[in-house]
Structure 1
Amino acid sequence: MFTFPRRPARKAFTLIELLVVIAIIAILIGLLLPAVQKVREAAARMSCQNNLKQIGLASMNYESAYGYLPPSSNVSPNSVANPWESPPISGPFTSFLTYLLPYMEQQNTYNGIVAAATPGTQGFFTFNTTQGAWAYYGSPKSSDGNLTGAVPFTLNRIKSYECPSDGGLYGSVTGGIWDAFILDNGSYENDYVYDTPGFGHEWGRTNYVACSGWDGSQASSMATPPGATSPVNYQGIYYPNSKTSIVSITDGTSNTIAFGESLTGVNKGPRDFVCAWMGSGGMPTQWGLTGNPLQWYQYSSQHTGVVNFAYQDGSVHTVNTSIDYWVFQAAGGMADGIVTSAFGN
């Protein structure tokens, strides 16, 4: 009788072999994951740079239409003052980003804000007793206008005003302060919105602020920059109620910072500061750059070791946070006579 030879039994994986395979896979993941994260961050940083470039180009289109660049914020001395300031700071505080909406493919949002304005009232903030919170006021065209009806538009999240690397830009809090800060003239804070628990408003935010130079529109007694008779020589392009023309930027648009990144809202809490695009204004350069994102009053970002800046010619530069302090001040000034073409890369 013919019989077929028995096939040898297949050898199964041993436990040790299985563990070796798992270890190899884990090592590969460990090697590849940082590379993937680096690629993702590089893409996010490029997207952030593109956002700043679009904002820069929008400001140039605004200048072409009106003959001057928009102010960092619109401040009216006759408007309702924020009672939490000492001394009180008044004004509609409508930001440069609001002015630029029509040039950022956000015409509908701009039209909605303008349509909500009611002539005859002034002030960017007033206490709304019905809602129990501070409400937005002011007009993007002038210091005259009641913008309570504009609240739905101010909640819009505009992607081109947000850095994609900042995954914590939005987040729930139990009440708190939604800041629309104007960091001109060397002040730490000028205006904000108090949001009571249950109010339900989370203002559309931004990571981008206008550059006010050394100390906005005011001189400072802190120090005198090298090569300047006064810190006011380092005044930036954007400050409250400014109407800066291209001609007045004597250092050259390719040598002067226009806009930069600011990281806010890192510590979610009842007194958290975040930057709302409708109220985001200018930031002085005198506080420098920081690698610590909790220092919300300084230029900062989630990009490791660098911050992105747009120059007034529309170019974008990536700047190391260790940049020389006075080189940074010169780059922020529009008529200090010091050219900083090597600033950034």
Structure 2
Amino acid sequence: MSQPNIVRAQRGFTLVELLVVIAIIGVLIALLLPAVQQAREAARRMQCSNNLKQTALAMHNYHDVHGQFPLPGMKANEIGWTASILPQLEQSSIADQLNYNEGKHNIASRMKFGPVKIDAYQCPSAPGTDIYSPRTDEMYNGEQSYVAHYFGILGPVGTNPATGGNYVCKDMSEEFGGECTEGILWQWGSKMRDVTDGLSNTYLLGENSWREMPYRRWWMRAKLEDATRGTLYLLTKNVQYPINSGNSDKWNTVAFGSMHPGGAMFSRGDGSVAFVAETMNFDAFLAGASKAGGEAISSQ
């Protein structure tokens, strides 16, 4: 006599088991997500370093051609170093269209390049959700212009530990914040031989891409002179405050900083690039911004 077929019921998950599985998956995701974010930030920081390296080497190539580093800005037309090194960044198609004799105040023939993204001037870690970074509110044909995230060094503000005297700055009471003169990219076109502290010890460019940084203009506009407010440097800054301090009281003295955790990228006069921690000794940070201060403090 044949046995009847017995159909066994399939047992499913209980509610408790399902909740346990969900909880385990949630824990795994919580453990994995920071690692993914850290890996992405590491990749962005490497790209930022490469961009800064490319820009610093372009400045070296400019020095080879012209015998000096580019000027931070030219009062006759308001453009500066970011425009000067375009041929060295393989952007001759833009450089060849610029009219350096055309005057100032955002002439339309130059403003048309505002919405053109120069990758070497952009840090990929910078936020893209506000008007300041990576774009500014300056417009051309209804399109916002890009900013630059790397600024030149005018010079330090404070006391030189080697001499006990103040670093050389002038007109610090002006509305824009004055200008310091001991950095590589101050106005008179430094030569490599002027950097007696050593090119490897002296900052050339620093990152300025933190979210709330309010003082930005489009990537080519560099300098403005006003009879009552003073000289405004848009692509070079004094070094007066610690990295990532968020200080932004005046245009020329806004703090260097980034969206990288713990510091910002800087290039040195020899073309090398380093991540500079926000916790570094402040005197050493100031010393790194001076090209001929004679300080014994290392900026490494």
Question: Considering the TM-score relative to the shorter chain, is it more than 0.5?
Answer: yes
Give the whole-Å Cα distance in 2 for the aligned partners of 1:163 and 1:227: 35
Partner of 2:173: none
Query: How far is 1:172 from its partner?
Result: 8.8
Query: How far is 1:294 from its partner?
Result: 6.6
Give the whole-Å Cα distance in 2 for the aligned partners of 1:22 and 1:243: 63
Cα–Cα, structure 1 residues 118 and 209, in superposed 2: closer, same or farther, change >3 Å?
closer
Say which of 286, 291, 303 aligns to 2:260.
Answer: 303
* Mapping of residues 277-288 of structure 1, within 5 Å: 277-279=219-221, 280-288=234-242
- Pairwise CA RMSD of aligned residues? 2.7
8 Å CA contact retained: 1:210, 1:260: yes
* Mapping of residues 182-261 of structure 1, within 5 Å: 200-214=142-156, 223-228=158-163, 229-232=165-168, 235-240=182-187, 242-261=188-207
Give the whole-Å Cα distance in 2 for the aligned partners of 1:275 and 1:169: 17
Query: How far is 1:42 from its partner?
Result: 0.9
Give the whole-Å Cα distance in 1 for the aligned partners of 2:281 and 2:132: 37
Give the whole-Å Cα distance in 2 for the aligned partners of 1:262 and 1:118: 27
Cα–Cα, structure 1 residues 169 and 23, in superposed 2: closer, same or farther, change >3 Å?
closer
8 Å CA contact retained: 1:249, 1:335: yes
8 Å CA contact retained: 1:235, 1:334: yes
8 Å CA contact retained: 1:293, 1:300: no
Cα–Cα, structure 1 residues 148 and 166, in superposed 2: closer, same or farther, change >3 Å?
same
Unaligned runs of 5+ in 2: 170-180, 222-233
Partner of 1:273: 215
8 Å CA contact retained: 1:256, 1:312: yes
Give the whole-Å Cα distance in 1 for the aligned partners of 2:282 and 2:266: 15
Give the whole-Å Cα distance in 1 for the aligned partners of 2:129 and 2:192: 33
Residues 208-260 of structure 1: per-residue CA shift (max 9 Å, x gap): 10011125xxxxxxx532223441297000023x2111111111111110000
Give the whole-Å Cα distance in 2 for the aligned partners of 1:27 and 1:294: 40
Cα–Cα, structure 1 residues 110 and 339, in superposed 2: closer, same or farther, change >3 Å?
farther
Cα–Cα, structure 1 residues 292 and 58, in superposed 2: closer, same or farther, change >3 Å?
same
Query: How far is 1:308 from its partner?
Result: 0.8
Cα–Cα, structure 1 residues 288 and 334, in superposed 2: closer, same or farther, change >3 Å?
same
Match of 1:74, SS state, is: coil
Which runs of structure 1 show a deviation greater than 4 angstroms over 4 or more consecutive aligned residues? 293-296
Give the whole-Å Cα distance in 1 for the aligned partners of 2:265 and 2:154: 16
TM-score under structure 2 length normalisation: 0.81
Partner of 1:28: 28
Partner of 1:314: 271
Unaligned runs of 5+ in 1: 77-91, 126-135, 137-146, 179-192, 216-222
* Mapping of residues 5-16 of structure 1, within 5 Å: 5-16=5-16
Query: How far is 1:93 from its partner?
Result: 2.4
Query: How far is 1:171 from its partner?
Result: 3.5
Give the whole-Å Cα distance in 2 for the aligned partners of 1:169 and 1:163: 14
Task: Name the % identity.
Answer: 32
Partner of 2:94: 109
Query: How far is 1:299 from its partner?
Result: 0.4
Is residue 2:111 matched to residue 1:151? yes
8 Å CA contact retained: 1:168, 1:266: no
8 Å CA contact retained: 1:307, 1:318: yes
8 Å CA contact retained: 2:132, 2:216: no
Cα–Cα, structure 1 residues 294 and 305, in superposed 2: closer, same or farther, change >3 Å?
farther
Query: How far is 1:199 from its partner?
Result: 6.9
TM-score under structure 1 length normalisation: 0.71
Query: How far is 1:45 from its partner?
Result: 0.8
Cα–Cα, structure 1 residues 277 and 243, in superposed 2: closer, same or farther, change >3 Å?
same
Partner of 2:69: 69
8 Å CA contact retained: 1:169, 1:205: no
Match of 1:13, SS state, is: coil
Query: How far is 1:317 from its partner?
Result: 1.3
Give the whole-Å Cα distance in 1 for the aligned partners of 2:197 and 2:248: 32
Q: In structure 1, what residue type is equivalent to 2:9?
A: A
8 Å CA contact retained: 1:288, 1:299: yes
8 Å CA contact retained: 1:209, 1:261: yes
